[in-house]
Amino acid sequence: MRGLGERAIEAGLGLAALTSIAITLAILYVLASESVGFFLVVPVGDFLTDTMWTPLFADAHFGILPLLCGTLVSSGVGLAVAVPLGLTSALYLSEFARPRTRELVKPFLELLAGVPTVVYGYFALLFVTPLLQRWLFPDMPGFNLLAPGLVIGVMIIPYVSSLSEDALRAVPMELREAAFAMGATRLEVAARVVLPAAFSGVAAAFALGLSRAVGETMVVAIAAGQQPNLTLDPREPAATITAYIVQVALGDLPHGSIGYRSIFAAGLTLMVFTLAFNVAAWGLRRRFREAY
Amino acid sequence: MARALTTADLAALRRGIRRRRAGDRLFALLGWACLTAALLVLAALLVDLAADALPHLRWDFLTSFPSRRPERAGILSAWVGSLAVMGVTAAAAIPLGVAAAVYLEEYAPRSWITDAIEISVANLAGVPSIVFGLLALGVLVYGLGLGRSVLTGGLTLAMLVLPIVIVATREAVRAVPFGIREAAFALGATRWQTIRHHVLPYSLGGITTGVIIALARAIGETAPLVTIGALTYVAFLPASPVQAGWPFLSFQWLADPFTVLPIQTFNWISRPGAAFQGNAAAAGLVLMGMTLLMNGAAIWLRHRLRRRVRW
């Protein structure tokens, strides 16, 4: 009897573990099945090359490029903030700071990732944009990609810095000791020995940060303007893939309409990009683990 | 044979060393500047939000429904909705996540199914939150016909935070030394008895930390709930879970429409007019207070555990 109960429990726990596979498959199924409905109406060629995204207008165009541009510009701005700040912080915390400083600073840095994104959106729209308008770009419109991009950058600093720091700290102490024995200074050890040795891990941190930035929704939905706009200028208003999904979901689209299906096609595009970045990060991290 | 160092050579060497040491100090300064900049942004955000919020943060604000007139609007339905949704999320994500983690750490044989589970957990952790909203819209709202209800919202967030619970639980379970399991087995305990009476109690701290972080994440999420079509204007509360007549408990609230704090905040931000934006700030501050409190509790708990536990 005891063996039976044990096996029942094992089976139950196993079933719980299987739900993660079920959720993954359900995501793939939902995105694929609704997108198939979309691509039966909209040719894939148009989707990839048309320069207008106006699925809800009478004259409907379904070119993903404007949304893709918006997404890449806001993520690019975000990465331009998060990479230098995150990497410098990581190098400082792992190679320069005393253990006490590190213990004290890291939790506060982690809080940056804990701020609700809707609050970041508020901050981007009503604090960062007016600040930029006053000091740097007086002609910049109230909705733009720059402010949300900068705020996304701040938001993903902890992701970039803590993963980079893990990679830097995993570099064996002997390498540092050897370099110090040759008379290298801390900075030389950090920049010429530790950083190159941890390169793939640091690059993985960047890839994960990029994946976060691409998938970030509320900041851009609030502060970027929700107008599809084929531009590479971060000072212009534009929509991202995620912001478009939010915009459509706020309206009341009939189930099964082409507009309804378009958010799944947009979601599939988003998935393809984040999946690529996540796989890249995973591969890079595995390489850096095998280095020693 | 090298020639002896002259005083001039020594001076040059010292200059070189000084210059390189200066590089060290400069970088240390730069590192400090970066950290300070990041933390200053956090401080600026808090101060700006608090400054906009405080004039609107009265007791009425917590006990009133949203209204078209900003000065009378409140967040009653939003914070009650957040609590209700969190209840569902916790009830679904904690048992599922802990069970999955225990299976992976204590039972799972090396097989392709285990590999598939591992890969899917890692993959889910990297899926953008709005995609969970699309999943819930397709499967829960239209596929299973659960509607735009508290149940749908809670399950959506549960799927979103499941990987966080699983990863945290696995780490906590893995930290329990093997000797403890061996001791229990030696006394004739079964695998489940060992887990139930030893492994789980010892890893409870780590699991709690993970659960708090997961719920803090869930309570701040907006995008997936917007996607499933959570209402942005809700002037009623979900049905009470306690009722006068038999059976005294009611699950009607699970099927009720809802709003949550982040959605209410988002709704007010998108309206023109300073008054509504003040309300948005006030709601945002309440939300931020909740998430920061939870994150702070998790950090404190983690710190305390690390200091206290010595195997």
Q: How confident is the model at residue A1 (pLDDT cuts 50, 70, 90)?
A: low
Identify the weakest region by mean pLDDT among A54-68, A89-103, B241-255: B241-255
Testing the interface with B: which of A23, A160, A180, A219 to mutate, by most B Cβ within 10 A?
A23
Which chain B residues have a beta carbon less than 8 Å from that of A157? 38
Residue-wise pLDDT for A130-162, tens only, equals 999 999 888 888 899 999 999 999 999 999 999
Nearest to A122 among B103, B127, B281 (CB): B281
Question: Which chain A residues are Cβ-neighbours of B284 within 8 angstroms?
Answer: 116, 118-119, 122
Residue with tokens 């915390």: A93
Buried b (16+ CB within 10 A) or exposed e, B191-219: bbebbeebbbebbebbbbbbbbbbbbbbb
Give me the count of residues in chain A.
Answer: 292
Residue of B nearest to A241 (CA): B130
Give the mutation candidate from B30, B115, B130, B286 for the A interface (greatest A CB count, under 10 A): B130
Report how far residue A54's alpha carbon sits from residue A75's, in angstroms, rounded to the nearest whole number: 23
Output the six-digit token pair for A119: 């609050």
Give the residue ranges of DSSP H helices in A42-169. 44-49, 65-91, 99-114, 117-123, 129-135, 146-169
pLDDT confidence bin for A53, thresholds 50/70/90: confident
Question: CB A249 to CB B133 under 8 A?
Answer: yes
| Cα gap A238→A66, rounded to integer Å | 8
Q: Token digits for B125?
A: 């952790």
Mean model confidence pLDDT for chain A: 89
Tokens of B98: 């802990």
Cα B155 to the center of its chain, rounded Å = 15
Of B59, B87, B76, B90, the C-alpha closest to B207 is B90
Provide the 8-state DSSP code for A152: H
Instruction: Give the Cα separation of B66 and B267 in Å (integer).
Output: 10
| Beta carbons within 10 angstroms of residue A191's beta carbon | 16
Q: Which residues pair with B249 in a beta bridge?
A: B242
B239: DSSP letter: P
Half-sphere CA count of A37, side-chain side, radius 13 A: 15
Most confident of B143-147, B295-299, B305-309: B295-299
Q: Among A30, A188, A249, whose Cβ lies nearest the Cβ of B226? A: A249
Closest by alpha carbon to B101, among B161, B158, B162, B184?
Answer: B162
Q: How many helices (H) and strands (E) does chain B have?
A: 12, 0
> Which residues 6+ apart lie within 8 Å of B44 measured at CB?
A127
Q: Select from B13, B52, B135, B144 the residue whose CB has the most chain A CBs within 10 Å, as the one to mutate to test that interface.
A: B135
- pLDDT of the residue at B214: 94
Q: How far is CA B122 from the centre of its chain?
A: 17
Distances (CA, A) of B206 to A125, B170, B300: 37, 9, 12
Q: How confident is the model at residue B309 (pLDDT cuts 50, 70, 90)?
A: low
User: In whole angstroms, what is the distance from residue B125 CA to residue B110 CA?
Assistant: 22
Torsions phi, psi for B257 (to 5 deg): -65, 160
Assigned token pair, B224: 């997936």
In this complex, the residue of A24, A186, A278 whose CB is nearest that of residue B120 is A24
SS3 call for B249: strand
Contacts for A274 with CB less than 8 Å, ≥ 6 apart = A211, A214, A215, B126, B127, B128
Rounded to whole angstroms, how far apart are CA atoms A221 and A205? 25
**Are the C-beta atoms of A285 and A201 separated by less than 8 Å?**
yes
Q: Are the Cβ atoms of B120 and A20 closer than 8 angstroms? A: yes
User: A232: which DSSP letter?
Assistant: -
Lowest mean pLDDT, pick from A38-52, A165-179, A276-290, B223-237:
B223-237
List of chain A residues whose C-beta atoms are within 8 Å of the C-beta of residue B42: 108, 111-112, 115
Question: Within a 10 A sphere around the Cβ of B155, how many other Cβ atoms?
Answer: 24
Evaluate if residue B52 carries a pLDDT over 90: no
Per DSSP, the three-state class of B242 is strand
Spatial distance between the Cα atoms of A78 and A210, rounded to a whole number of angstroms: 8
| Average per-residue pLDDT for chain B | 87
Query: CA of B72: how far to CAs of A32, A214, B59, B60, B278, in Å?
Result: 45, 38, 11, 8, 12
What is the spatial distance between Cα A54 and Cα A36, in angstroms, rounded to a whole number?
19
| Residue B66: predicted pLDDT | 77
Q: How far is A187 from chain B (nearest CA, A)?
A: 5
**pTM for this model (two decimals):** 0.90
pLDDT above 90 covers a percentage of chain B that reads 46
Neighbour-count burial of B301, counting CB atoms closer than 10 A to its CB (0-12 exposed, 13-18 middle, 19+ buried): middle
Q: What is the pLDDT of residues A114-134, one digit of tens each?
A: 899 999 999 999 999 999 999
**Closest residue of B to A88, CA-based?**
B31
Write down the H helix ranges in B175-199: 178-186, 191-194
How would you classify residue B111: left for phi > 0, otherwise alpha for psi between -120 and 50, otherwise beta? beta
The pLDDT of residue B248 is 67
The answer to whether A221 and A118 have CB atoms below 8 angstroms apart is no
